Amino acid sequence: MKRCAFTLLELLVVVSIIAVLFGLLLGAIQKIRESSNRVTCQNNAKQVLLGLHNYSNSNSCLPAGIKDPFGKSSWPAAGWQIFILPFIEQEAIYQEAMAEYKRTKCFYDVSINSYPHTAMAHPIKNFLCPSDPRIQNRYLSRSLGYFVNFTSYVGNCGEDCKKKNGLLFLDSKIAITEVLDGTSNTFVIGERPPNANLELGWWYAGLGYDGRGSGEMILGAKEQFTGEIPLTGPCPLRVYEFSSGRFSEQCDAFHFWSPHSNGAHFGFLDGSIRFLRYEAKPILPALATRSGGETGLNFD
């Protein structure tokens, strides 16, 4: 009586075919997931942009990119994200932040009789790109010893944050009427994941690398990193521009980039969200200035 069975060669062929099919299926699933994440990221950026517009409508100007950490502000080192919370349906967290600043102006106060602001531990869904798995939950900061959370979208301070020729920078109060280059030629926010050790890119407040918020919640299109505040891992003192990056690279915190392929999302003052490819690097500084005289730029 004959026994029906696979030969070893036939079995290996079947296993190989299954492995190839599984690889193709896995790749397709990953592409679908990333496509979904990209749409969600775009929608989140849109909500942030609407929050900025609604703030402007209520206050006749955009919020400060960052309140002076060393000045007389009631909210030192507070980022622009705090001030748009009521306009993105986060009134409760906004009120918590205001109460914390009344308790202590130092958001990172770890003195014996105090503790850091609790509001900074809240993840704000609209501030987070889902393609960055590192930041979906609160994070215990090594430098602070307390929980913090992040933003994937940073404000445009201009060519670099020292020039203050963008829209969101130290103690800024820019009215939309001051944007002479046109609302469709000037971006307000852009994608930039937090740095490798997650100590730069907090949504709530921060000093940035220079004590003025640079690289924290605001960023320039040609950011001149001068290393005032040292970070984990040395970074070259040079100009950083729009280009691809990696989660593991500490120095990629100094330029716009995203986890998506080939480019990043930017929110423009006309209310549009546009995905700019890295080939747009030469014109991004022109798109960052509010009155540089550049109009009719072709970047689509």
Q: Is 212 exposed, middle or buried (0-12, 13-18, 19+ CB in 10 A)?
A: buried
In a domain, 11, yes or no: no
181-237: pLDDT as tens digits: 999 999 999 999 999 999 899 999 999 988 889 999 999 999 998 776 655 567 888
DSSP sequence for 101-153? HHH-S-TT--STT----SGGG---GGG--TT-GGGSS-EE-TTTSSEE-B-SE
Per residue in 30-77, pLDDT (tens digit) is 666 777 899 999 999 999 999 999 999 999 999 999 999 998 899 999
pLDDT at 97: 97
In a domain, 24, yes or no: no
91 CB contacts (<8 Å, ≥6 apart)?
A: 85
Name the residue among 51, 94, 81 with its Cα closest to residue 206: 81
- For residue 1, tell me if it sits in a domain: no
Residue 228: its pLDDT value, please?
65
Distance CA 184, CA 39 (A): 21
Average pLDDT over residues 4-20: 71
What pLDDT score was predicted for residue 273?
97
Supply the pLDDT for residue 6: 60
For the chain, the domain total comes to 1
pLDDT of residue 231: 55
* pLDDT tens column, 224-278: 987 766 555 678 889 999 999 999 999 999 999 999 999 999 999 999 999 999 9
How much is the pLDDT for 233?
61
Predicted pLDDT at 113: 80
Residue 1 has a pLDDT of: 52
What pLDDT shows up at residue 282? 96
Q: 266 lies in a domain?
A: yes
Residue 29 clears pLDDT 60, i.e. is over it: no
Residue 298 binned pLDDT confidence (cut-offs 50, 70, 90): low
Closest listed residue to residue 132, CA positions, set 91, 81, 193, 82: 193
**Averaged pLDDT score across all residues of the chain:** 90
For residue 149, is it within any domain?
A: yes
Q: Residue 12: what pLDDT?
A: 74
Chain segment 128-177, per-residue pLDDT in tens: 999 999 999 889 998 888 899 999 999 999 999 999 999 999 999 999 99
Q: Which residue has the tokens 């001030």?
A: 83
The predicted model gives 79-92 an average pLDDT of 97
Q: How much is the pLDDT for 37?
A: 93
Whether residue 23 lies inside any domain: the answer is: no
Q: Dig out the tokens for 68 from the structure.
A: 């002076």
What are the tens digits of pLDDT across the range 73-83?
999 999 999 99
Task: Output the pLDDT for position 165.
Answer: 96
The closest alpha carbon to 183, from 276, 279, 287, 42, belongs to 287
Residue 191 inside a domain? The answer is yes
Residue 115's domain comprises 37-288
| pLDDT of 40 | 96
102-121 mean pLDDT: 90
User: pLDDT tens-digit profile of 137-149?
Assistant: 889 998 888 899 9
CA distance 239 to 252: 12
